[in-house]
Amino acid sequence: MNILVINAGSSSLKYQLLNPETGDLLAKGLCERIGIDGKFTYKPQVEGKKVLDAIDVAMPTHSEAIQAVLNALVDAENGVIGSMKEIDAVGHRVVHGGEAFNKSVLITDEVMKAIEDCIPLAPLHNPANLTGIRACQQVMPGVPMVAVFDTAFHQTMPAKAYMYALPYEYYENDKVRRYGFHGTSHKYVAGRAAAMLGKKPEELKLISCHLGNGSSVTAVDGGKSVDTSMGFTPLAGLPMGTRSGDLDAGILQYVMNKYNMNIDEMLNVLNKKSGVQGVSGVSSDFRDLENAHKEGNERAGLAVDMFNYGVKKLIGAYAAAMGGVDAIIFTAGVGENSANQRLAIASGLEFMGVKMDAEANNVRGKETVISAADSKVKVLLIPTNEELMIAMDTAAIVKG
Ligand code: ADP
């Protein structure tokens, strides 16, 4: 079974063709500058097939982009499948499913309408995701399509975790609540953690730390998300590459008055000029910060400390929320690669049964137990694979 996974942005489209049963990746790539001058990248994962690297392909709309993907996949010389018939279904990443979707769904006209209804909650992302779905429907008529939402995994949160302490009407009338994001990643690594530990998801209390350019931590109790650090938008929670994370809303009034800013300008600062970039003044990339700190830049060190401290506090909070924790998972760019940051985050948690194995921790990008053999709480490094999770969900739905 082959599933085409599509992640459509407003002018770009990432794709992967994979077999969810074996986990084999057949090809992946990227369409960029859609509606501008069209650049197409194709990376077949089969030996002897040629890579296309940002070649010129006319893509006035997403439809031509999808067509270019299909042409490459079935190409007589460099393709990885014989014909389009070998694509059993398409899985689409959709950012926001609001309260309408608590799991992945087969795309129907009603589902399209419901995704449209969520546009006010994700004005940049959902329209682009819808464009990608429509383009696929046009180019691949009759092929089943599934929507996989970033928010769906978190719909199991109890009201006490997702409500903001605002006038209740904002929730009732305007759907203002915590939604959470990175759900596909948290769900995937939670599933892998259960497999690594030889347990059923229902038996486990997990804390999943997705630490990348955007970061979120999720409490997963019995296979279900019960709390997560991102909120109504992905601006909440931890300080991130350029996002502030949580802050005292009173700061907005103070800074906006002082610098004569409007709310759009303020939000631009919070989204694009804050986080570890804002604190360090050096970079949003944790590798740059580690290097700058080594060379004596104190603010770069402070930015990383603030981030690590934020993750540590969430681990403590979520262990308390669940009444314990069996395993802590590190994933995404920082979580998979930075041994130093994993150690900084997990050290000092010995009181709650977390004991790292510094040698085992000296690893990157590979499923590994990085806690000591006698650690009561297991610490796991698990590379995330959102595309595989999307393909697995899509296959499950198509098979019924
Ligand atoms: P995104 O949220 O954009 O998907 P990723 O999960 O790919 O991001 O994470 C990207 C981040 O991972 C980079 O900004 C970088 O800071 C961090 N990263 C990658 N490799 C390392 C490393 N070796 N050490 C520390 N941080 C790293």
Nearest to 31 by CA among 49, 50, 2, 7: 7
Angle at 126 between CA 122 and CA 127, to 5 degrees: 120
Region 175-185: mean pLDDT is: 97
Identify the residue whose C-alpha is closest to ligand 1 atom 24. 338
* β-pair partners for 208: 218, 329
The domains spanning 3-149 and 198-381 adopt the same CATH topology: yes
Give me ligand 1 centre to Cα 334, in Å: 5
Confidence of residue 234 (pLDDT cuts 50, 70, 90): very high
- Helix-then-strand count for the chain, H and E: 15, 14
CATH code matching the domain that covers 3-149, chosen among 3.30.420.40, 3.40.50.300, 3.40.190.10, 1.10.1030.10: 3.30.420.40
- pLDDT at site 215: 98
**DSSP secondary structure letters along 123-186:** TTHHHHHHHHHHHHHHHSTT--EEEEETTGGGGG--HHHH--SS-HHHHHHH--S---S-HHHH
150 catalytic, yes or no? yes
* pTM passes above 0.85: yes
Q: Any idea where the domains of the chain sit in the sequence?
A: 3-149, 198-381
One-letter amino acid at 308 equals N
Tell me which of 37, 75, 88, 150 is the catalytic residue. Answer: 150
Region 88-117: mean pLDDT is: 97
Residue 75 pLDDT exceeds 90: yes
Identify the residue whose C-alpha is closest to ligand 1 atom 23. 337
Average pLDDT, the chain: 97
Atom of ligand 1 nearest to the CA of 211: 6
Other C-beta atoms lying within 10 Å of the C-beta of residue 202: 10
CATH code matching the domain that covers 198-381, chosen among 3.30.1600.10, 3.30.420.40, 3.40.1190.20, 3.30.70.20: 3.30.420.40
* β-pair partners for 378: 327
Long-range contacts of 156-164 (CB under 8 A, 24+ apart): 156/102, 156/224, 156/225, 156/226, 157/225, 157/226, 157/227, 157/228, 158/226, 161/226, 161/227, 161/321, 164/231, 164/232
Give me ligand 1 centre to Cα 335, in Å: 8
Could you report the per-residue pLDDT of 323-372, keeping only the tens digit for each?
A: 999 999 999 999 999 999 999 999 999 999 999 999 999 999 999 999 99
Confidence of residue 39 (pLDDT cuts 50, 70, 90): very high
Give me ligand 1 centre to Cα 175, in Å: 32
- Top mutation candidate among 334, 345, 361, 363 for ligand 1, by most atoms within 8 Å of CB: 334
One-letter amino acid at 242 equals T
Residue 138 pLDDT exceeds 90: yes
**DSSP secondary structure letters along 271-303:** HHS-HHHHHHSS-S-HHHHHHHHHTT-HHHHHH
Residue 383 pLDDT exceeds 90: yes
| CA 66/CA 52 separation, integer angstroms | 15
Atom of ligand 1 nearest to the CA of 364: 23
CB 88 within 8 A of CB 398: yes
Give me ligand 1 centre to Cα 336, in Å: 8
* β-pair partners for 30: 14, 41
Atom of ligand 1 nearest to the CA of 285: 16
Atom of ligand 1 nearest to the CA of 289: 16
Three-state secondary-structure class, residue 377: strand
Query: Residues 6 or more apart from 140 whose CB is under 8 A from it?
Result: 66, 70, 84, 87, 90
| CA 85/CA 57 separation, integer angstroms | 24
Three-state secondary-structure class, residue 327: strand
Residue 124 pLDDT exceeds 90: no
Confidence of residue 211 (pLDDT cuts 50, 70, 90): very high
- pLDDT at site 229: 98
Cα–Cα distances (Å) from 127 to 95, 116, 178, 225, in that order, read 10, 7, 21, 26
Range 6-26 burial, b when 16+ CB lie within 10 A, else e: bbbbebbbbbbbbbbeeeebb
| CA 134/CA 76 separation, integer angstroms | 27
